[in-house]
């Protein structure tokens, strides 16, 4: 009787777990997504293939290989001649996500370059602006010279040098004290400068999100919805997402800043 | 022109006619110019048969009314009837009770009765003869004349004739500004009651069947016209603006008939004037703007067209959300909400490779029927854009119908091709869950040989890309950067700050010690120390060294207070120096005596100082310490 009661409790717990909101909302595993999506793509069902990838993202999943394949699925539709407006942008967004999750994914970077090249060619054919990528703002460019962790490590080394030098210089005389003084100066400089760069890198990372234009072009608008009169942002351009107000996003691309409708930019989710 | 002036103007106008002047009470009805009235014997009922709106446009309803008033205490009139042309569908009569009190040449008389109203629909330009009307009184049939209704083409209604040629502003009955008695025209419906009228005389009241919906869900807006005291004609309607909605006008409603409601004890007529189906296009707090109309008729005067009264409804808001993300089927398109079913036919079932077949799909249901279907995808099968036909109706509180999609499907691969199924995922608002309407298309036999593929002229810029990845490689989400660790900034700054803090503490400690030792060597400190030392040495029977301590205490006290160093002076020089430094004679003498005693102890006497001497020296030092500088 005791055994039956235990079994019943176990079954009840299993049932509750199976139908818990978490399980209902959880994404399929990346391996399952790749298998099902590849099978649909092999069949020629490109729309279904894309939807399987997008469902993984909608459920909160993140994996560089799934993002990479999602980009290829959109490109497959373009190559088939069945492209919908914005497919190149959506493919670019997928490859940008791949690089955010795995920065050294070379095929993703190559695909991104190919897409932006195609966008530039299209713009040139239509007599438009061929600029498809711009450099980051100076502060971000400086902060991204090395990774944030690298700045932090150098800053810690500087702090260590400063600490040791301060100790040496207190209790030493002559040449040793001179060495302590020099070490203190170097350590202080490293701590202050590299600590500042660490803070700058963190600030830049938090100040703006990332997005990719998924419309053939995105016109920048002012706060009242009127066009700003600057060249439109090209498809597949990576933009900084500064703010969201209702159905519009405040974005920055190089020196250009303005509002765009929400549906024209795909906001990239930060890793983690 | 205010009420009083208008009343006077009307009185003057009435005076030029041949009718006797009659002053009415607040519950009155009277004969109007242009009415058909009967000259009747004194006790017979007074009967008036009239056309309420002389000029109507085709499509509007004309209204005729028969008013019968009999003297109180006499037999009532009953059974009002109206003769109308064959085939004309007339609604009514609607009966309204009346009472009339009048004062004529000093005599007061009261009458009671009713008004029977009929509405006559018109559909084309021309004239309609209605009547006669009749009532039964005291066993007799009392009959009126006929009336002719002039029906004008739409937009050609003539302006109302002003018999005074513009001398006076346009006005109607004398009683237009006076309240009329309650009219029992239609059933009372408490659903439309309000605590207060929204506006005087008439107002529009918008009512939504729901204020919360999901994107694509049907929301019905009904606009009701409340009028008091009588019903009005409408002109110059302005539909509600709703840019965030797709809308369909609902042309008929079972519950469109007039009703009556009581507001603050006053009876109002209520009539449905517009019903629209709205389908929200996006989530958010979405607004449906006001509807406005101009009301024409007796009692409805304002600044609108033809001098009518303009009334607008209040805007309404609908809270719109998306259907839940949980359980959302693949391929669901936001906005597909309703109840649907799919059917399809395929012909022919046999075709040559490279040929085409026709697939006809019919999507039926209620809601905003989607305008496209998900077609199955597979290699060798190409679905072209469909031809779409629709048959959609909006009536009562639903929108329903069907859309027929006719596809041409090209088949290129020989063999038995399973076309798959057509599917439409949708959100069922009634069952609050996702459903999928689907239909299997079955197989088609494709015969012959596949046609040769057509080589594409343009090179594929993406040909060099790798194929899709088949397995998910190991991936660990990147850890937060080192700078995000909570201990980072503490570690970065803590080490140097700790060393600096330790250094500062060490220096401070040394400084305090130095200051402290400096304090010990001041003359004042030496004086006190010496006295303590003398006492200590006496207690240890070292009187000889105590002598020096006592002397030193006096010298240090004088130096500390006055700056005079007595040790370096001769005895004869001490007193003048002390005097010069501000020490008075008594104190100076005592100091001198003390020093002589120390000399005596040192050089002449075998006795030494005692503890009492230490005490007296301590008192002397204290007195020295009080010398004014």
The size of the A-B interface in CB pairs under 8 A is 147
Answer whether B465 sits within 8 Å of A102, measured CB to CB. no
B578-611: per-residue pLDDT in tens? Answer: 999 999 999 999 999 999 999 998 887 667 899 9
Closest CA to B278 of B235, B249, B307: B249
Closest residue on chain A to B490 (Cα): A156
The residues pairing with B287 across neighbouring beta strands, listed in sequence order, are: B317
Say what the pLDDT of residue A125 is.
Answer: 85
Residue B118: partners with Cβ closer than 8 Å, 6 or more residues away: B63, B64, B65, B82, B84, B90, B91, B92, B93, B94, B130
Buried-exposed string B320-355: b where 16+ CB fall within 10 A, e elsewhere: beebeeeebeeebeebbbbbbebebebeeeebebbb
Stretch 225-264 of chain A: residues touching chain B, C-beta under 8 Å: 246-247
HSE at residue B312, side-chain half, CA atoms within 13 A, is: 11
Q: How is residue B486 written in tokens?
A: 């909570």
Mean pLDDT of all residues in A105-133: 87
What is the C-alpha to C-alpha distance for residues B344 and B60, in angstroms, rounded to an integer?
Answer: 45
Q: Are A253 and A240 in contact (CB under 8 A)?
A: yes
Dist. CA A159–CA A192, nearest whole Å:
9
Give chain A positions within 8 Å (CB) of B499. Answer: 163, 166-167, 170
Highest mean pLDDT among A169-173, B304-308, B412-416: B412-416
What is the sign of the dihedral through the CA atoms of A28, A29, A33 and A35? negative
**Partner A contacted by B481 (CB < 8 A):** yes
For residue B623, give the nearest of B558, B571, B531 by alpha carbon.
B558
Q: Per-residue pLDDT tens for B216-274?
A: 999 999 999 999 867 788 888 898 899 999 998 887 666 667 888 888 888 888 989 89
The tens digit of pLDDT for each residue in A227-248 reads 998 889 999 999 999 999 888 9
CA pair distance A76, A38, nearest whole angstrom? 12
Interface confidence, given as ipTM, is: 0.75
Q: Does B374 touch chain A (CB under 8 A)?
A: yes
At B184 the pLDDT is 46
Q: Which positions in chain B touch A34 (Cβ < 8 Å)?
A: 468-472
- Number of helical (H) and strand (E) elements in chain B, helices listed first: 7, 33
pLDDT of residue B173: 36
The predicted structure's pLDDT at residue A1? 53
- Per-residue confidence (pLDDT) for residue B235, from 0 to 100: 85
Encode chain A in three state secondary structure: CHHHHHHHHHHHHHHHHHCCHHHHHCCCCHHHHHHHHHHHHHHCCHHHHHHHHHHHHHCCCCCHHHHHHHHHHHHHHHHHCCCCCCHHHHHHHHHHHHHHHCCCCHHHHHHHHHHHHHHHHHHHHCCCCCCCCCCCCHHHHHHCCCCHHHHHHHHHHHHHHHHHHHHHHHHCCHHHHHHHHHHHHHHHHHHHHHHHHHHHHHHHHHHCEEEEECCCEECCECCCCCECCCCCEECCCEEEEEEEECCEEEEEECCEEEEEEHHHEEEECCCC
DSSP B37-65: E----TTSPEEEEEES-SEEETTSEEEEE
The pLDDT assigned to B158 comes to 62
Average pLDDT of span B126-146:
88
- Closest Cα in chain B, distance from residue A200 (Å): 10
Query: Which B positions 531-590 lie with beta carbon below 8 A of chain A?
Result: none
Q: Can you give the pLDDT at residue A62?
A: 93
B2 touches chain A (CB under 8 A): no
Say whether residue B385 is in contact with chain A using an 8 A CB cutoff: no
**Inter-chain touch A44–B377, beta carbons under 8 Å:** yes
What is the pLDDT averaged over residues B162-177?
A: 34
Give the integer Cα–Cα distance in Å for A70 and A37. 9
A102, A107, A188 member nearest B466 (Cβ):
A107
Q: Indicate the pLDDT class of residue B107, thresholds 50, 70 and 90.
A: low
Average pLDDT (B438-464) is 86
Sorting pLDDT into bands at 50, 70 and 90, what band is B120? confident
Q: Quick check: B19 pLDDT over 80?
A: no
Residues in B 286-345 with any Cβ partner in A closer than 8 A:
325-328, 330-331
Assigned token pair, B10: 């009307």
Mutant choice from B322, B423, B425, B478 vs A, greatest count of A C-beta within 10 A: B478
User: Which structure tokens are listed for A33?
Assistant: 């997504």
**CB atoms near residue B538 (< 10 Å):** 21
B612 touches chain A (CB under 8 A): no
Question: Which chain A residue has the Cα nearest residue B383?
Answer: A82
Q: Mapping DSSP to helix (H, G, I), strand (E, B) and coil, where does residue B348 land?
A: coil
Kindly indicate the confidence band of residue B160, based on its pLDDT and cuts at 50, 70 and 90. very low
Say if residue B171's pLDDT is above 80: no
Contact between B469 and A65 using a beta-carbon 8 Å cutoff: yes
Residue B175 has pLDDT above 90, yes or no: no
Count CB neighbours of B212 within 10 A.
11
Site of tokens 């570690």: B491
What pLDDT band is residue A189 in, cutting at 50, 70 and 90? very high
pLDDT at B109: 66
The answer to whether residue B466 scores a pLDDT higher than 50 is yes
B157 pLDDT tier (thresholds 50, 70, 90): low
Q: Is the pLDDT of residue B177 over 60?
A: no
What separation in angstroms does the CA of B320 have from each of A247, B136, B325, B425, B528?
Answer: 14, 60, 15, 20, 92
Q: Which of A25, A46, A55 sits opposite B377 (nearest CB)?
A: A46
Residues 183-202 of A with CB under 8 A from B: 187-188, 191, 195, 198-199, 201-202
pLDDT per residue over A81-108, tens digit each? Answer: 888 999 999 999 999 999 999 989 999 9
Task: Name the band, by pLDDT with cuts 50, 70 and 90, for residue B131.
Answer: confident
Minimum distance, in Å, between the CA of residue A59 and any CA atom of chain B: 9
pLDDT over threshold 90, residue B26: no
Find which of A66, A84, A152, A157 to mutate to test the B interface (most B CBs within 10 Å of its CB): A152
If one compares B220 and A254, the residue with the highest pLDDT of the two is B220
Sign of torsion over alpha carbons A183, A188, A190, A195: positive
Strands, DSSP E only, in B429-487? 433-440, 443-447
Whether B484 and A195 lie within 8 Å, measured CB to CB: no
Give the pLDDT confidence of B564-583 residue by residue, as tens digits.
Answer: 999 999 989 999 999 999 99
Residue B71: burial class (beta carbons within 10 Å; 0-12, 13-18, 19+): middle
Q: Please say whether the beta carbons of B225 and B270 come within 8 A.
A: yes
């Amino acid at each position: 009787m005791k055994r039956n009661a235990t079994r019943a409790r176990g079954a009840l717990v299993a049932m509750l777990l199976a139908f818990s909101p978490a399980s209902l909302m959880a994404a399929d595993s990346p391996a399952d997504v790749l298998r099902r999506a590849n099978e649909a793509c092999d069949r020629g069902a490109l729309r279904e293939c894309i939807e399987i990838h997008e469902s993984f993202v909608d459920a909160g999943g993140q994996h560089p290989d799934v993002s990479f394949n999602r980009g290829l699925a959109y490109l497959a539709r373009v190559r088939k001649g069945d492209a919908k407006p914005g497919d190149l942008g959506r493919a670019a967004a997928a490859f940008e996500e791949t690089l955010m999750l795995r920065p050294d994914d070379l095929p993703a970077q190559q695909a991104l370059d190919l897409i932006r090249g195609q966008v530039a060619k299209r713009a040139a054919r239509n007599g438009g602006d061929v600029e498809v990528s711009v450099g980051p703002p100076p502060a971000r460019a400086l902060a991204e010279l090395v990774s944030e962790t690298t700045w932090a490590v150098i800053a810690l080394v500087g702090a260590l040098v400063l600490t040791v030098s301060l100790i040496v210089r207190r209790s030493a005389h002559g040449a040793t004290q001179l060495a302590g003084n020099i070490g203190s100066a170097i350590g202080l400089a490293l701590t202050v400068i590299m600590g500042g760069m660490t803070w700058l890198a963190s600030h830049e990372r938090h100040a703006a999100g990332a997005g990719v234009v998924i419309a053939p072009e995105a016109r920048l608008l002012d706060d009242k919805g009127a066009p700003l009169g600057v060249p439109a942002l090209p498809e597949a351009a990576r933009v900084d997402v500064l703010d969201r107000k209702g159905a519009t996003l405040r974005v920055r691309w190089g020196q250009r800043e303005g509002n765009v409708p929400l549906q024209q930019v795909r906001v990239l989710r930060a890793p983690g | 022109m205010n009420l009083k002036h208008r009343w006077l103007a009307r009185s003057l106008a009435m005076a030029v006619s041949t009718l006797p002047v009659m002053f009415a009470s607040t519950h009155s009805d009277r004969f109007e110019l242009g009415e058909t009235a009967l000259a009747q014997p004194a006790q017979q009922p007074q009967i008036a048969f009239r056309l309420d709106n002389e000029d109507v446009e085709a499509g509007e309803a004309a209204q005729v009314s028969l008013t019968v008033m009999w003297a109180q205490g006499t037999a009532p009139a009953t059974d009002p009837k109206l003769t109308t042309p064959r085939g004309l569908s007339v609604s009514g009569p609607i009966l309204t009770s009346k009472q009339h009190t009048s004062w004529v040449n000093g005599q007061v008389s009261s009458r009671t009765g009713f008004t029977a109203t009929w509405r006559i629909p018109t559909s084309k330009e021309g004239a309609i003869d209605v009547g006669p009307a009749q009532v039964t009184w005291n066993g007799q049939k009392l009959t009126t004349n006929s009336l002719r209704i002039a029906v004008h083409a739409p937009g050609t209604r003539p302006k109302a004739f002003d018999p005074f040629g513009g001398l006076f502003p346009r006005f109607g009955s004398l009683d237009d500004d006076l309240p009329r008695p309650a009219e029992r025209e239609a059933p009372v419906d408490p659903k439309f009651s309000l605590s207060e009228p929204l506006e005087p005389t008439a107002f529009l009241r918008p009512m939504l069947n729901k204020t919360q919906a999901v994107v694509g869900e049907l929301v019905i807006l009904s606009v009701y016209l409340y009028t008091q005291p009588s019903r009005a004609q409408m002109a110059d309607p302005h539909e509600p603006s709703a840019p965030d909605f797709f809308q369909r006008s609902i042309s008929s409603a079972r519950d469109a008939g007039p009703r009556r409601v009581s507001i603050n004890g006053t009876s109002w007529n209520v009539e449905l004037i517009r019903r629209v189906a709205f389908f929200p296009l996006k989530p958010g707090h979405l607004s449906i703007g006001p509807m406005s109309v101009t009301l024409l008729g007796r009692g409805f005067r304002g600044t609108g067209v033809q001098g009518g009264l303009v009334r607008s409804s209040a805007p309404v808001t609908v809270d719109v959300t998306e259907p839940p993300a949980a359980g959302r089927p693949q391929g669901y398109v936001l906005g597909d909400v309703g109840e649907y079913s799919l059917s399809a036919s395929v012909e022919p079932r046999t075709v040559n490779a490279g040929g085409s077949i026709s697939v006809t799909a019919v999507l039926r249901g209620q809601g905003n029927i989607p305008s496209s279907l998900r077609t199955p995808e597979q290699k060798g099968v190409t679905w072209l854009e469909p031809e779409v036909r629709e048959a959609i109706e909006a009536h009562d509180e639903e929108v329903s119908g069907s859309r027929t999609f006719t596809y041409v499907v090209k088949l290129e691969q020989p063999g038995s091709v399973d076309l798959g199924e057509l599917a439409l995922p949708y959100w069922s608002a009634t069952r609050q869950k996702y459903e999928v309407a689907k239909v299997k298309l079955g197989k088609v036999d494709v015969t012959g040989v596949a046609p040769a593929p057509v080589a594409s002229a343009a090179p594929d810029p993406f040909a060099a890309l790798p194929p899709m990845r088949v397995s998910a490689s190991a991936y660990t989400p990147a850890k937060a950067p080192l700078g995000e660790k909570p201990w980072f900034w503490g570690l970065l700054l803590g080490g140097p700050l700790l060393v600096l803090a330790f250094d500062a503490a060490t220096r401070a400690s040394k400084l305090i010690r130095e200051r402290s030792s400096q304090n010990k060597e001041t003359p004042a400190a030496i004086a006190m120390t010496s006295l303590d030392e003398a006492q200590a040495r006496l207690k240890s029977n070292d009187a000889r060294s105590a002598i020096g301590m006592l002397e030193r205490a006096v010298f240090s006290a004088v130096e500390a207070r006055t700056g005079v160093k007595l040790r370096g002076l001769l005895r004869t020089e001490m007193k003048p120096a002390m005097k010069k430094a501000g020490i008075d004679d008594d104190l100076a003498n005592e100091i001198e005596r003390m020093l002589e005693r120390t000399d005596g102890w040192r050089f002449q006497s075998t006795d030494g100082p005692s503890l009492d001497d230490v005490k007296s020296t301590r008192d002397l030092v204290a007195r020295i310490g009080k010398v004014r500088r």
